[in-house]
Amino acid sequence: MQKLVIAGREFASRLFIGTGKFGSAAVMSQAIEECGSELVTVALRRVNLAAAPESDALISQLNPEKVVIVPNTSGARNAEEAVRIARLARAAGGFDWVKLELTPDPNYLLPDPIETMKAAEVLVQDGFVVMPYINADPVIARQLEDAGAAAVMPLGAPIGTNRGLTTKEMLQIIIDEIK
């Protein structure tokens, strides 16, 4: 299998994990350790911005020597909000990687491709390693690649539908065509 390299960093594991839905920070930490994930996304709204990163209950459970901590912009409804959230993450904890999430649809959390593109262009110019959450759309994936996104994170099915992988053919095109 081809090595996964994002922004010059090589990953042995292709499993990325989020910090939500765990009963406690300790359970989350144990799950991350045991699954071998090397990239962990964190919703900024779950982090105590008043505390130093090493004393935040959530962030302090993550070992930056073992995992890349990637704040996400979940909750952002437009490009302006997403850029503000990413910049707050950088100011609060020095995080330069960002999972760009713009989801104005509260039911299915479907990404907005137009606002995602706007935010990606600004964040790339700001020097962020940008990984946008997108629909399984090869056209927008190519445009984001051209804009400087480090990787795209296409959905496999609408979030929360428990339908499994419903976008397989479109994902294969993205895999085949996008670097």
User: Residue 99 catalytic?
Assistant: yes
Per the listing, tokens 């594991």 go with 13
- What burial class does residue 26 get, using C-beta atoms within 10 Å of its C-beta: 0-12 exposed, 13-18 middle, 19+ buried? exposed
Query: Of 21, 99, 118, 179, which is the active-site residue?
Result: 99
Give per-residue pLDDT as tens, 35-64. 999 999 988 765 655 555 555 556 667 777
Give per-residue pLDDT as tens, 1-35. 678 999 999 999 999 988 877 888 888 888 888 99
Prediction pTM value: 0.89
